[in-house]
Amino acid sequence: MPAASRFDIAAVDVRAPDAPMAFTRSLHDTGFAVLRHHPIDPDLIARLYQGWAAVFAIPDIDDYLFDPVTQDGYFPFRSENARDSTVKDLKAFFHVYPGTRLPPALAADTMALYQDLLTLGALLLGWLQDHLPPAIRDRLTEPLPAMLAGSMQSLFRVLHYPALPADIEPGAVRAAAHEDINLITLLVAGTAPGLEACDRTGIWHAVPCDPGMIVVNGGDMLAVATDGYLPATPHRVVNPPAGQDVARQSMPMFLHPRPEVVLAPGLTAGAFLDQRLREIGLKP
């Protein structure tokens, strides 16, 4: 098969000796990898999915309406569009940063998962750092894990895709095709299928979504910093097929550098982020 049409998202056993190499190769080849045997407590994930489903179902969630300056809190259904889309996505979400006001019953577990994903993410950035070709590594203004150290910008997003409403606009989907903005994203596997990634020839592939797994993908900041060696692959969440229309939950953690980190000559992470937030309709 020609190399251009191969798209094998590796399932990486985090405990295997070759995990760092296999992870880096998969991120280079596809922009994605899927982690098995990761260290995050499955009971913590199950409790959070259950607890957040209940929160999204009550009108009181409006008390947590997002703050346009700090960008944290609850973003109601149809708040965000993909960069090239005028139609809003069919999703609601809650943005969590350190210090975000949270529903009290969920605060401790949510921040525990935030921290666990941050720790795992720093390990994964270290794997990438160690396995980059030297010419790419030499371009970095600081090592990838150091870009994250002390950053308060990493964003934990609790996503809730309700069962589809009857009145959806033509072309509206759960999440339109987009690339993530950040370094890497750790996505706690969704509660239902739907996530797809696009290969370099434009063909979409379902991303394996076993409930025990964590999906990792590279974002635009990583692509810029590595001159495209670690690409930001477009992905989307498609609507459920007729007859299987259930709500879907997922929990991505977007790992962001400190704002002053220089991604490429003349381009800081802070300036890059501001520009992208305007494009997706989250910042005026």
Show the site string, 1-40: x = touches ligand AKG by CB under 6 A, - = not: ----------------------------------------
> Binders of Fe ion among 175-194, rule CB under 5 A?
180
Residues recorded for the chain: 284
Nearest approach, Cβ of 62 to ligand AKG (angstroms)? 21
Contacts of ligand AKG in 111-150 (CB under 6 A): none
CB 80 within 8 A of CB 180: no
Lookup: tokens for 161: 């895709």
Amino acid in position 72: D
Instruction: Give the nearer residue to ligand AKG in terms of CB position, either 121 or 190.
Output: 190
Nearer to ligand AKG, 15 or 278 (CB): 278
Q: Judged by CB under 6 A, which stretch of 99-107, 118-126, 132-140, 187-195 contacts ligand AKG? A: 187-195
E strand residue ranges, the chain: 11-13, 32-36, 73-75, 92-96, 155-161, 175-178, 184-188, 195-198, 204-206, 214-218, 235-237, 248-255, 262-264, 267-268
Candidates 25, 157, 205, 258; binder of ligand AKG (CB under 6 A) is: 157
DSSP 28: H
Burial grade of 251 (CB within 10 A; 0-12, 13-18, 19 or more):
buried
Task: Please identify, using beta-carbon distances, which residue of 72 and 180 lies nearer to Fe ion.
Answer: 180
Q: Which two tokens stand for residue 114?
A: 């935030």
Q: Does 116 bind Fe ion (CB under 5 A)?
A: no
For residue 257 the two structure tokens come to: 């550098």
In this chain, which of 28, 38, 235, 256 binds ligand AKG, going by CB under 6 A? 235
240 near ligand AKG (CB under 6 A): no
Taking CB under 6 A as the rule, does residue 252 contact ligand AKG? yes
Residue 214 Cβ, how far from Fe ion at the closest point, in Å? Answer: 14
Give the interface size with Fe ion as a residue count (CB under 5 A). 1
Closest to 155 in 3D by CA, of 130, 126, 187: 187
Min CB(87)–ligand AKG separation in Å: 16
| Residue least distant from Fe ion (Cβ) | 180
β-strands 11-13, 32-36 pairing = parallel
Q: Is 226 left (phi over 0), alpha (psi -120 to 50) or beta?
A: alpha
CA distance 130 to 29: 17
Contact of residue 233 among ligand AKG, Fe ion, none (CB under 5-8 Å per partner type) = none
Task: Please identify which residue in the block is written with the tokens 């798209």.
Answer: 7
Q: Which of 40, 237, 263, 269 binds ligand AKG (CB under 6 A)?
A: 237
Question: How many residues of this chain interact with ligand AKG, rule: CB under 6 A?
Answer: 11
Contacts to ligand AKG by CB under 6 A: 157, 159, 175, 180, 187, 190, 195, 235, 237, 250, 252
Contacts to Fe ion by CB under 5 A: 180
